[in-house]
């Protein structure tokens, strides 16, 4: 029976962990890369942890390929579903089309976290929620420890998995909580924990390509972690889906590899000028780029794929190329050997570096984009320091009606007046939920169920007042403005009630009346200067006596120092007389 052990281990790894990398060329010589890692934990009984009771020691449990650092956190906080997003940049829907995976794994600018927590009441759920965010803050080196009541909301629209209802007790239910930090920067400190969650630790498989310097040198990038609980026949398991998406500029990456990180001016003899326009030694209109281009994985990421996730195992590591086979050529290249053409789907099995070379005669010939089913524009209006407005335009470019949910969470210092809400266009508001903010305790929660006919649009406008903050509540560089988190728009399938597509609007920058923080410094410096000048004059008048120059000379002669100087001068004169 011992001969079955290697086979069973190989089968378990192939079914409980998979990774997939997808490349898709985009217009204007850009590339969309999609890294996907899926892992499933071994079955375990679902238990409820009472935060108010003394914690008993848990039995040791093997997590398999599931991230060991996250499993105890979600178990201790009774989290049945977790969604974490790290996103920076702007997705160009007009040029690139719809979001990857219908936007289900893409967040808004900054950091965004959703969680479905089992609890008997909302108070207990929030206790687990804050414990969860503080733990995630330490794991991912993010500012999630600043999540509090002032930015936490309880969305009314439930997700499909959150509605499954995996609870341990009939008296408990699931509470969906959400928070966002739109001004949180994304850096390599967030990527390192992401890689440590993988069983390969970023040393093998497609994760070996993930380098912070290459990944974050992108036009747009997004990192997500999704944990969902699945239960069947009294046994449950956790499923983890980790995604990294980024849009790379191929031309810039090649230029940086050839010329280094510091841009250099192009010599005059190498300028490519448009011959159809006037040009000389001083005038040059840049010519269009050459349509033919060739690049490889190693040149783009600085290294090749270091074999499969696990050696000599099939079905674990897959690389996909979504290209037009008539215009693009994909080949497996190896030093000292001829390139081997590959199909659109390539499975990595051999434990050796894999480098793929991609070339085309015209980089503009890419697969047709899938148009976004929804277009949203959101902006601030007004220029006053004490009030302002919001304008949201949602357009339906499809030939069918749309039902959607518009969710918005605004900080407490934006005091919204619901009676100023105006609806324009041919769309309608089917239902609405509004929860006003409480200063420093609760954000404004606005949720609207909308219906837009085919080819129609709807415009929402409302007004708000700007509150004054305490001086300690202003962040550094307060004159830059305050980041307002993106709004969430979900398209709802009328038959199933599930979310078929979702997107986030860009974040906004709100200016508030900001005090002159340099004023105390200027007042302090001016006051100290005036006081020092006045003190010097008064001090001199108090401790010094005003005398004439003749009196000063007489006094100096009678002083001990003056007598000593006179004796030294007399001694010098006598010595000179003896020598003479």
DSSP characters over 390-409: EEEEEE--SSS-EEEEEEEE
Beta bridge partners of 273: 286
Of the candidates 311, 353, 316, the one whose C-alpha atom is nearest the C-alpha of residue 335 is 353
Q: 3-class DSSP state for residue 580? A: coil
Q: How many CA atoms lie within 13 A of 30 on its CB side?
A: 17
- Cα 504 to chain centroid, rounded: 13
> Which pLDDT score is estimated for 54?
62
Q: What is the DSSP letter of 70?
A: T
Angle at 557 between CA 552 and CA 560, to 5 degrees: 115
CA distance 110 to 54: 36
Question: SS3 helix, strand, coil % of the chain, rounded to 5?
Answer: 25, 35, 40
Exposed / middle / buried, residue 270 (Cβ in 10 Å: 0-12, 13-18, 19+): exposed
Q: What is the DSSP letter of 60?
A: P
Residue 344 has φ and ψ, to the nearest 5°, of -70, -25
In Å, what is the CA distance from 15 to each residue of 1, 12, 31, 300?
A: 22, 5, 30, 31
Q: What is the DSSP letter of 14?
A: H
Q: What is the DSSP string of 235-282?
A: EEEEEEEEEEEEEEEHHHHHHHHHH-SS--PPPGGG--B-TTS---SS
Contact status, residue 455 vs residue 374, Cβ threshold 8 Å: no
Residue 545 has φ and ψ, to the nearest 5°, of -110, 135
CA distance 257 to 561: 77
Beta bridge partners of 377: 393
CA distance 371 to 269: 42
Contact status, residue 87 vs residue 117, Cβ threshold 8 Å: no
Contact status, residue 450 vs residue 487, Cβ threshold 8 Å: no
CA distance 375 to 487: 13
SS (H, E, C) 473-499: HCCCCHHHCEEECCCEEEEECCCCCCE
Predicted confidence pLDDT, tens digits, the chain (580 residues): 434 434 444 444 446 899 999 999 999 889 999 999 999 998 888 888 887 766 655 556 777 888 888 989 998 999 999 999 999 999 999 999 999 999 999 999 999 999 999 999 999 999 999 999 999 999 999 999 999 999 999 998 875 455 455 788 888 889 999 999 999 999 999 999 999 999 999 999 999 999 988 899 899 999 999 999 988 877 888 999 999 999 999 988 888 877 776 777 878 777 888 888 888 878 888 888 778 888 999 989 989 999 998 887 788 999 999 998 888 999 999 887 878 888 889 999 988 999 999 999 888 889 999 999 999 999 999 988 889 999 999 999 999 999 999 999 999 999 999 999 999 999 999 999 999 999 999 999 999 999 999 999 999 999 999 998 988 888 888 888 999 999 999 999 888 888 899 999 999 999 998 888 777 778 888 899 999 988 888 888 888 877 788 877 777 777 787 778 778 888 888 787 766 5
Angle at 430 between CA 427 and CA 431, to 5 degrees: 135
> Which pLDDT score is estimated for 361?
87
* Domains along the chain with CATH numbers: 20-51+63-360 (no CATH), 375-517 (2.60.40.10)
Q: What is the DSSP letter of 471?
A: G
Q: 3-class DSSP state for residue 156? A: coil
CA distance 125 to 117: 6
CA distance 408 to 485: 8
Of the candidates 396, 405, 414, 402, the one whose C-alpha atom is nearest the C-alpha of residue 462 is 414
CA distance 240 to 66: 7
Determine the angle formed by the axes of helices 560-579 and 549-558, rounding to 10 degrees. 80
Number of C-beta neighbours around residue 488 at 10 A: 24
Contact status, residue 346 vs residue 332, Cβ threshold 8 Å: yes
Contact status, residue 408 vs residue 437, Cβ threshold 8 Å: no
CA distance 454 to 395: 9
């Amino acid at each position: 029976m011992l001969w079955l052990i290697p086979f069973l281990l190989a089968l378990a790894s192939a079914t409980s962990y998979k990774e997939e990398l997808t490349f898709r060329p985009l217009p204007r010589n850009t590339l969309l890369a999609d890294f996907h890692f899926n892992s499933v934990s071994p079955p375990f009984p679902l238990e409820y942890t009472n935060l108010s009771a003394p914690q008993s020691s848990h039995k040791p449990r093997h997590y398999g390929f599931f991230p060991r650092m996250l499993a105890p956190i979600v178990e201790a906080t009774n989290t049945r579903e977790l969604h974490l997003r790290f996103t920076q940049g702007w997705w160009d829907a007009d040029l690139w089309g719809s979001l990857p995976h219908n936007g289900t794994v893409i967040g808004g600018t900054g950091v965004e976290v959703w969680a479905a927590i089992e609890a008997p009441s909302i108070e207990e759920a929030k206790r687990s929620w804050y414990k969860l965010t503080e733990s995630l803050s330490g794991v991912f080196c993010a500012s999630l420890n600043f999540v509090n009541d002032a930015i936490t909301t309880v969305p009314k629209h439930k997700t499909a998995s959150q509605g499954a209802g995996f609870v341990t007790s009939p008296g408990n239910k699931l509470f969906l909580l959400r928070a966002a930090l739109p001004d949180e920067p994304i850096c390599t400190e967030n990527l390192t924990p992401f890689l440590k969650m993988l069983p390969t630790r970023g040393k093998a498989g497609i994760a070996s390509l993930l380098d912070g310097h290459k990944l974050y040198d992108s036009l747009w990038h997004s990192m997500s972690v999704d944990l969902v609980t699945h239960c069947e026949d009294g046994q449950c398991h956790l499923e983890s889906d980790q995604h990294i998406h980024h849009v790379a500029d191929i031309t810039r990456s090649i230029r940086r590899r050839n010329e280094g990180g510091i841009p250099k001016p192009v010599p005059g003899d190498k300028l490519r000028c448009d011959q159809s326009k006037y040009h000389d030694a001083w005038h040059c209109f840049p010519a269009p780029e050459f349509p033919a281009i060739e690049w490889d994985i190693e040149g783009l990421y600085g290294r090749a794929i270091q074999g499969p996730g696990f050696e000599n195992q099939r079905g674990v590591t897959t690389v996909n190329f979504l290209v037009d086979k008539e215009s693009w050529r994909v080949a497996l290249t190896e030093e000292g050997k001829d390139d081997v053409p590959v199909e659109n789907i390539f499975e990595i099995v051999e434990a050796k570096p894999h480098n793929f070379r991609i070339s085309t005669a015209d980089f503009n010939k890419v697969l047709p984009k899938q148009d976004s089913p929804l277009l949203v524009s959101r902006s601030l209006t007004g220029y006053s320091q004490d009030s302002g407005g919001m304008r949201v335009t949602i357009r339906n470019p499809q030939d069918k009606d749309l039902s959607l949910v518009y969710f918005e969470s605004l900080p407490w210092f934006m005091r919204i007046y619901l009676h100023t809400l105006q609806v324009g266009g041919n769309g309608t508001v089917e239902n609405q939920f509004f929860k006003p903010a409480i200063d420093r305790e609760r954000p404004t929660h606005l949720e609207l169920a909308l219906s837009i006919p085919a080819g129609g649009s709807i415009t929402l406008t409302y007004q708000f007042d700007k509150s004054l903050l305490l001086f300690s509540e202003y962040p550094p560089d307060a004159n830059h403005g305050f980041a307002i988190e993106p709004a969430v728009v979900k398209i709802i399938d009328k038959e199933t009630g599930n979310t078929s597509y979702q997107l986030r609007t860009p974040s906004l920058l709100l200016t508030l009346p900001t005090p002159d923080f340099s004023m105390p410094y200027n007042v302090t410096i001016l006051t100290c200067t005036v006081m020092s000048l006045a003190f010097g004059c008064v001090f001199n008048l108090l401790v010094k006596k005003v005398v004439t120059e003749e009196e000063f000379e007489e006094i100096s002669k009678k002083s001990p120092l003056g007598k000593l100087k006179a004796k030294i001068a007399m001694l010098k004169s006598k010595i000179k007389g003896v020598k003479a």
